[in-house]
A = this chain, B = another copy of it.
Amino acid sequence: MNPVKDSVHDYIPLDPVAAELIDTPVFQRLRHIKQLSTVRLVYPSANHTRFEHSLGVYRLTSRALDTLEVDEDRSRHARAAALLHDVGHGPYGHQTEDLIRRHTGTDHDDIEWLVTDADREVSQVLEGHDLEPERIAALVRGDGPLGDLISGELDADRMDYLVRDAHHTGVPYGTIDHGRLVRELTLRDGRLVLAEGNVPTAESLLLARGLMNAIVYRHHVSRIAGAMLERASERLLHADDEPAADVDVETFRRMADHDLLVRLREAAPDLARRLERRDLFKRAVWAERSRVPAGTSEVDRAGERAAAREIADEAGVDPEEVIVDIPPRPTLKESNATVVVDGTPQRLEDASELVSGLRGAQRANWRLGVYCPAPHRESVADAAEQVLELRPGRP
């Protein structure tokens, strides 16, 4: 098996399990799921997929396992888990995750259904190489110290995506030193930690994600398009009035991006057309934290839909043309990373004064959005201020 040439990690050699897993339909589907979903509408070069990202995570995990000197059985399971960690994503990745969760109760990192029975190809490959699908599913969920490497505060997942997203958007902030991160990981008391002298290394990971969040991942254009996509997907799954378009959630979550895009044309023709042509809704409201009452900032998707209907009603526009987008409080998962300082493992939060500053910056970047077609901006803005009980902004 030839190594795969990757634009980020150069040649990626494949072990025999990886070579077979890659050929399964479940994995090949990742070629058709973009890593950054709607971000490409802002950064047009960002067309990279979860296929190449998964290969990258496999590569970094393999290198970390070599450094950690993990035994071969555990390494083989961890490498397979690294490769498969994203196969549970629905079309457009995180953009449909909430919707799938509401229908199935499972997240993208629950892949047990995929690697055990449901898709015999994957489980057959694993079993053919004496690998246990359940252990791999557990690693993808983040169980145990090697689970930390797949899905934890210092995981190979974010090391790959930050660098890859920087390469493909052209925004340099994600360019972390993954060579050093991978080399400085160590196992200590059953936990994955960064060795002595690496507080700045850990901080760099945190800062890279913070800046990429502000400038790339949470860009308002991407958020608007993402919210429109989710709204359209909801229609596809619940299209009571257009029964022919109905799709069950098991079919939905196995779609690739292009399947969804084509199906949305029937289920939500206006939104689908707008998404394909980048003729997006605009911001009627873009409110920072201080303007939003506590009750409002904690509503769930149902609450958002209810508010949107109320705003539409108040503004006299079609309810399908108002979207309320209230993101959760920002988290800083990396702040729980463990770093050895003067011989003692510490949480990064305690070892670095930067963490609280970064938390504050993330809070400051938080915005509640209300989106609608450009012509309705003013009326929707007025209605939204009222319905969401927003406080006045700075003059």
Contact = CB atoms under 8 A, between A and B. Distances in A.
Interface of A: 3-8, 10-11, 23, 25, 28-29, 31-32, 34, 40, 43-49, 51-52, 55, 167-173, 175-177, 179-180, 183, 199-201, 203-204, 207, 210-211, 214-215, 256-259, 261-262, 276-279, 342, 344, 352-361, 363-365, 393-394
A361 B365 contact: no
Given A28-B277, A44-B55, A200-B215, A7 B167 contact: yes
Given A167-B7, A200-B215, A258-B261, A360 B354 contact: yes
18 contacts: A5-B45, A7-B43, A7-B45, A7-B169, A25-B277, A44-B51, A47-B47, A173-B175, A173-B204, A200-B214, A200-B215, A200-B365, A204-B211, A207-B207, A352-B361, A353-B357, A353-B358, A357-B357
Most chain B beta-carbon neighbours within 10 Å: one of A3, A180, A361: A361
Contacts of A207: 207, 211
A211 B177 CA distance: 11
Nearest to A48: B47
A28 B354 contact: no
A364 B357 contact: no
A179 B200 CA distance: 26
B342 A394 contact: yes
Contacts of A259: 262
Given A25-B277, A55-B44, A171 B177 contact: yes
Integer count of this chain's copies in the complex: 4
Nearest to A343: B394
Contact of A5 (B48, B169, B344, B355): B169
A354 B6 CA distance: 28
B44 A52 contact: yes
A358 B169 CA distance: 26
Contacts of A3: 183
A380 to B, nearest CB: 21
Most chain B beta-carbon neighbours within 10 Å: one of A47, A215, A257, A342: A47
Contacts of A55: 44
A354 B358 CA distance: 5
Nearest to A43: B5
A210 B357 CA distance: 13
A220 to B, nearest CB: 10
A340 to B, nearest CB: 12
